[in-house]
Structure 1
Amino acid sequence: MTGWTTDRIPDQHGRIAVVTGANSGLGLVTATELARHGAHVVLAVRNTAAGQEAARRVGGDVEVRELDLARLDSVRAFAAKLAADHPVIDLLVNNAGVVLLGPRRTTADGFELHLGTNMLGHFALTGLLLGNLAAAAQPRVVSLSSITHKNAHLDFDDLMFERDYRAAPAYGRSKLATTIFAVELDRRLRAAGSPIISTLAHPGITRTNLTPRAWEHRGRFGQAIARLGLLVTQPVERGALPQLCAATDPGVRGGQFFGPSGRWEMRGPVTEARLSREAADPAAGRRLWAAAGELTGVSYL
């Protein structure tokens, strides 16, 4: 896939694509390219006013729907209405995420905010839309990982990071959990003989609005860190290429993982990326799947 660009996106007319967190950053670029190539794109956003502004920027055949991944009641309501309105869904891009470097925070359901939003919300959403995806001809689920997953480790005795909380490791754990989920989803889909494929991507080190938000609690020091980040990050248009490749390239197989090809996978053209040992471990996949089903109340496969 090295050298992959948006010119290789095939015609998307007739396809329904759902992109979470589509009002800015990677999600906005992803939604824009899918719409530009003809897809009907559902912008699944927490802030619908921002979503409407994004829809104007995206153009094409789009709709805005409210989804707060930090609230399971919102996930259920969104999925129920979407499933009723769109019996067939071709593509789900689990793009939305949070990264906060302040004190520990929780979702409305009491989950540690990173894990609850980045992984558990998407786990539930995917399960609730699985029937609609299975009705499509060539359905895909794309999950957004991060290079931070490579240095993370899940503590199944403290998934919510209630002991010795540190924000950066909490974010890394949430991205490891997301990666484990996507790999385990692929295993289970293949075992069930499902037409759906589960793929993964990460953007390397990319210039999005998440970085300045993460440091805003540190005042001027945080602003300086955010400005420094501009020097080492790649543009969001390039960072979105791995997930667009995972979402649209006809040659993609279930379980494949895409990211930048440069040093330490930080920047550069798209290539197949490497999973950490824990992310690829079937035992970790089974254990996380069981925990996620119990925590969210959404069981599938």
Structure 2
Amino acid sequence: MTWSTADIPDLTGQRALVTGATSGLGYETALELLRHGADVLIAARNAEKAEQVSATLTQASNKEPTVLELDLADLTSVEKAADSVSKTYDKLDLLVNNAGVMAPPYRQTADGFELQLGTNHLGHFALTGRLLPLLLKAPAPRVVTVSSFMHKTVRGINETDLRRPEQGYSKWVAYGKSKLANVLFMLELDRRARAAGVNLLSVGAHPGYAATHLQAAGPELAGRAFEARMWAGINKLVAQSAAAGAWPSLYAVTSPDVRPGGYYGPGFFGFRGAPTTASATGTAKDPVLAERLWAWSVEATGVDPTLTVPR
């Protein structure tokens, strides 16, 4: 597939929300959506940093985004952010579930969940569920959930993973499970949307190997400066740019060729290049496991996504 950001259609009149938009893939996604006319909300944990990034995005795109304070590791923050959006706007066309943490030392969310599953999956599950009524007011809403080829490194997920104790914790296994959860959720949302007969497109994307701060963030949290510098060096040698890493997400959220439940990633062995259809594991496509994860997520977050068109 040959595709570039020049192929993004005019998005004037569409409203998009991008999580994790202050750096890396989220920043590049927000930038291109702004450049093509969308009204963009950039959701970020650090409001002060988000305001600084907003100024940079405005200068680069000639269109000012709106800052939304959101901490995906705190379900109360998720509820407040979703309520703020719902009270301010009459519809939401595009939601890009991009934010994430990768391989940090053991931490828990504000609600006691393992940090990676709690942030990367549960936070986005709750946010999407709370924003569904607003999304379903749009004529052709899309939800893009960003995963990783690392979802292929794990063979399953169970309810105890959500509150896994520090004993026996593996940062890379937990990351893989969180990315597996992203694909399972994306596909289950698609199945439920089609069963309900609503015009919601749920699709997934992964960036391949892109140079972002994500690789160094975990070592920095653990105080391992050498490991953080090592990742920075590896990125310079082999990774594609964050802008290129955002292409699959941008393709998924804007292309007219995207299909329900589609999963997209870089074309060159899944690591770099223009976006194309990507492969997910059989585990990620297991509808029984996806239904179980959905039920566990409803119980954990207290959010039960409703797929009915508002009247």
TM-score bracket for this pair, using the shorter chain length: over 0.9
Residue among 230, 238, 256 paired with 1:232: 238
Structure 2 equivalent of residue 129 of structure 1: 131
Residue among 293, 303, 309 paired with 1:288: 293
TM-score, length-normalised on structure 1?
Answer: 0.96
- Residues 88-126 of structure 1 show CA distances to partners (whole Å, capped at 9, x for unaligned) of 100000011011332x11000000000000000000000
Residue 277 of structure 1: how far off its partner (Å):
0.6
Structure 2 equivalent of residue 110 of structure 1: 112
- Residues 24-83 of structure 1 show CA distances to partners (whole Å, capped at 9, x for unaligned) of 110000000001000100011101111111111211041101000000000000001101
Structure 2 equivalent of residue 200 of structure 1: 204
- Cα distance in 1 for partners of 2:219, 2:19 equals 23
Residue 3 of structure 1: how far off its partner (Å):
1.3
Structure 2 equivalent of residue 101 of structure 1: 104
TM-score, length-normalised on structure 2?
Answer: 0.93
Residue among 74, 88, 91 paired with 1:88: 91
Residue 262 of structure 1: how far off its partner (Å):
1.0
Contact persistence 1:201–1:246 (CA under 8 A): yes
- Cα distance in 2 for partners of 1:201, 1:100 equals 20
The unaligned stretches of length 5 or more in structure 2 are 307-311
Q: After TM superposition, what 4+ stretches of structure 1 lie above 3 angstroms from structure 2?
A: none
- Cα distance in 2 for partners of 1:79, 1:157 equals 25
- Cα distance in 1 for partners of 2:183, 2:227 equals 32
Contact persistence 1:215–1:223 (CA under 8 A): no
Contact persistence 2:206–2:249 (CA under 8 A): yes
Please tell me the residue identity of whatever aligns with 2:72: L
- CA 1:221 to 1:65, structure 2 compared with 1: closer, same or farther past 3 Å? closer
Structure 1 equivalent of residue 279 of structure 2: 274
- CA 1:300 to 1:221, structure 2 compared with 1: closer, same or farther past 3 Å? closer
- Cα distance in 2 for partners of 1:222, 1:147 equals 21
Residue 167 of structure 1: how far off its partner (Å):
0.4
Residue among 210, 225, 228 paired with 1:222: 228
Structure 2 equivalent of residue 190 of structure 1: 194
Identical pairs, percent: 46
The unaligned stretches of length 5 or more in structure 1 are none
Q: Does 1:66 align with 2:69?
A: yes
Contact persistence 1:215–1:225 (CA under 8 A): no
Q: Does 1:177 align with 2:181?
A: yes
Query: 1:143 is paired with a residue of what secondary structure?
Result: strand
- Residues 206-233 of structure 1 show CA distances to partners (whole Å, capped at 9, x for unaligned) of 0001112122232224322331232111
